[in-house]
Amino acid sequence: MIVNKEYALSLDKEDPISHFREEFYVSDEIIYLDGNSLGLLSKRSEKAVLTLLDSWKKYAIDGWTEGNNPWFYLSEEMGKQFASLVGATDKELIATGSTTTNLHQLLATFYKPKGNKTKILADELNFPSDIYAIKSHLQLHGLSPEDHLVTVKSRDGHTLRTEDIISQMTDEIALIILPSVLYRSGQILDMSAITTAAHERDIVIGFDLCHSIGSVPHDLSNWKVDFAFWCTYKHLNGGPGSVGGIYVNEKHLGKEPGLSGWFSSAKDKQFDLEYELTPALTAGAYQIGTPHILSLAPLIGSLEIFNEARIETIRKKSLQLTDYLIRLIEAELTEYTFEITTPKEAHARGGHIYLTHQNAASICKALKSNGVIPDFRNPNGIRLAPVALYNTFEEVWKTVQILKRIMEEEQYKKYDNTRGVIA
């Protein structure tokens, strides 16, 4: 039954948030399954950008305090819009920077090697940029990454076990940085259990939410996570280079940030222009320079959509979409040596599916030539992300039928099995 198009159409008919698809610029000629790399543009985000441009045109310098979205307060206002997505209070949140610059800020603030506690714990499956930043801070402290960066090993090359992470929390670990969702396999880590174990050992812990925010609910404050950081151009549809976000647990607020700048200041003191910083008593203290207003603008529209659709409803549909994709792959593609490395249990699965195949790069090229946009990950991975706000069950069905035809007709053999400049 599931392999029939009519079944997919029946699921679309029952979808309570299907109307949000109309909010996005969706092509009728393309099935876009790369929203976990770059989300589609929404009409509300487009309008927000034009509105902010108009405020620049209309108010000039007075745009910092005038108009519907005064620029001076925009980072804080956008930070508040993350609250329902990450489970935090307004004061614990700020929209600022990018993923890696925010991680640099948080490392500068929270990595305090002392005595025997000098090492940072990460994992061998994390996105490389996080590892680059961690190594930078170890070196700035005069410490060798080879000796002071501890990485949790994967037993299967795709996933991590909670017990393996906890077993590495020795007396030498000063700080832990982990992803909430692994960018390849899509596994969700048990952030609550891992945070509890870290705190029992007096270790500060932070999470990279890039591949979970906007597709998976969080409860950071109740989990007592020390800090988190994320981008906004994937599931949050903020656009290329859109401003990222930071969460800092309220118990840490009021401390001077590791990297200070004039937007680290308390708002009422900033234009006193004193040489002694009075840091904001909120996560706003973790800002550094002037906000990137035009890169913040799309978030005004996109986060409005999320607050209307509600993350719990988005998560429910996301799981239905990825479950349907898994079931179709298992029903239609068993003879073609694809391996699904994403956990099949709902509680352990994020918003995308990861397939491995020895011809993954050429298969991705064939999919694109057939109007399906996937994401290739070196050396042999295919990521498919049906996004709840704008993808349909029919598109999932069509994708598997196209993939089946590509394999049956060996279309992929027309393409080199190597990645492009941008995979």
Which residues belong to the annotated binding site for pyridoxal 5'-phosphate? 99-100, 127-130, 208, 211, 233, 262, 290
CA gap 281, 317 in Å, rounded: 38
Query: Which tokens is 366 given?
Result: 């064939």
Do β-strands 227-230 and 204-208 pair in parallel, antiparallel, or remain unpaired?
A: parallel
Q: Using DSSP, state whether 377 is helix, strand or coil.
A: strand
Q: Which residues are annotated as a binding site?
A: 99-100, 127-130, 208, 211, 233, 262, 290
Nearest to 386 by CA among 324, 322, 341: 322
How far from 10 is each of 13, 14, 188, 223, 363, CA to CA, in Å?
5, 6, 29, 38, 29
User: CB-based contacts of 373: which residues, under 8 Å, 6+ apart?
Assistant: 30, 31, 32, 33, 34, 367
Q: Which amino acid is at 142?
A: G
Q: At what angle do helices 293-309 and 43-59 cross, to 10 degrees?
A: 140
DSSP element (H, E) containing 146: helix 145-148
Do β-strands 339-340 and 353-356 pair in parallel, antiparallel, or remain unpaired?
A: antiparallel
Residue 224 in contact with residue 193, Cβ under 8 Å?
A: no
Q: Which amino acid is at 268?
A: D
Show the CA angle centred on residue 178, arms to residues 189 and 97, nearest 5°.
Answer: 120
